[in-house]
Chains A and B, each alone.
Chain A
Amino acid sequence: MATLRLPYLMTAAVSGALFGAGLYVSQMVDPLKVLRFLDFTAIPSGGWDPSLAFVIVPAIFVMFVAVRFGRRRSAPLFDTEFHEPEYNKIDNRLVGGAVLFGIGWGMSGICPGPAISLIAFQPDGLWLFLAAMLAGSLAGGLILPSGHRRRLADARR
């Protein structure tokens, strides 16, 4: 199985390590800093922290270049195909999911990446949050399968 070969797993490890380093260096690992970005009410008083925008824009730019480069190749280095999402319709599930995630993110300042990287520092309440996040994800998975396959079939038409 290709996904169990060493180069494949090394790539996953290097990517994960770069991601973790990036989350700490950018301080997106700090939920309170993320909340200070999301708090637009602080803009008039000058207390707003725009750092998050300075994280996501260069990240998108680097990835954009990589995607461009990848388009000229038929396959990634260690697999037979690029696993690009096939489904491209904007549906209620996408928007509804984004709304619910937006509420959770606004309540906590924690999105899934920082939630995992915070394991390195174990702040109080983190395991509770992670357990709830996993439970939420599993619950979401329960309502997915049949509809998801049908949508994929639709997308291929």
Chain B
Amino acid sequence: MEAFSPLTATLGGILIGLASAVLWLGNGRIAGISGIFGQLLPPAQTVVWRLVFLVALVGATALTALAFPQIGVGGAESAQLATPPAAWSLPTPVWLIIAGLLTGFGTKIGNGCTSGHGVCGLARLSMRSLVAVLVFFTVAILTVTVTGIV
């Protein structure tokens, strides 16, 4: 069991907050990853900045992991995805495809994810985001309980 890590969590949270603040005050854009990712393909006209943002995101993840490997997964520990609970007897690829489809579809029609609704929306005091956040956190917690995936 990995330990609770309040210090790195808070520091990381501040960095994510700054990321959102920079994009908002600089370009007037919401740093919602599902939106930035979901509009990478045409007909979106603003593909370039979205691509730049995502490439920088991946690059910085890799670089911070190299610089501070002791923090954990991705650094000293290798990253791995969750495997489906044995009781469900589903192959891992099938489980991941279902989860990915639901994540992509749900964030598209619901206009946001943990970053767009969770960070930016709540900071803007958006009622829509508050409802979305309460719903997806509750459903995710129930899903973990029902599937017994942890």
Interface residues of A (CB under 8 A from B): 3-4, 7-9, 11-33, 35-36, 38-42, 47, 49-52, 54-67, 69-70, 73, 75-79, 81-85, 87-90, 93-113, 115-126, 128-141, 143-144
Q: Judging by beta carbons under 8 Å apart, are A120 and B58 in contact?
A: yes
A23's contact among B37, B61, B147, by CB below 8 Å, is which?
A: B61
Given A101-B103, A106-B143, A132-B96, A30 contacting B28 (CB threshold 8 A) = no
Determine the chain B residues whose CB is within 8 A of the CB of A27 once the complex forms.
Answer: 5, 8-9, 12, 71-73
Q: Judging by beta carbons under 8 Å apart, are B102 and A136 in contact?
A: yes
Q: CA A20 – CA B63 in complex, angstroms? A: 9
Cβ of B87 under 8 Å from chain A: no
Q: Judging by beta carbons under 8 Å apart, are B100 and A55 in contact?
A: no
A12's contact among B38, B56, B96, B123, by CB below 8 Å, is which?
A: B56
Chain A: minimal CB distance from B29 (Å): 6
List 4 additional contacts besides A39-B141, A59-B13, A139-B104; criterion CB under 8 Å: A11-B27, A15-B19, A111-B115, A136-B105
A31's contact among B82, B110, B124, by CB below 8 Å, is which?
A: B82
A106's contact among B10, B34, B141, by CB below 8 Å, is which?
A: B141
Cβ of B86 under 8 Å from chain A: no
Chain A: minimal CB distance from B106 (Å): 3
Q: Judging by beta carbons under 8 Å apart, are B105 and A20 in contact?
A: no
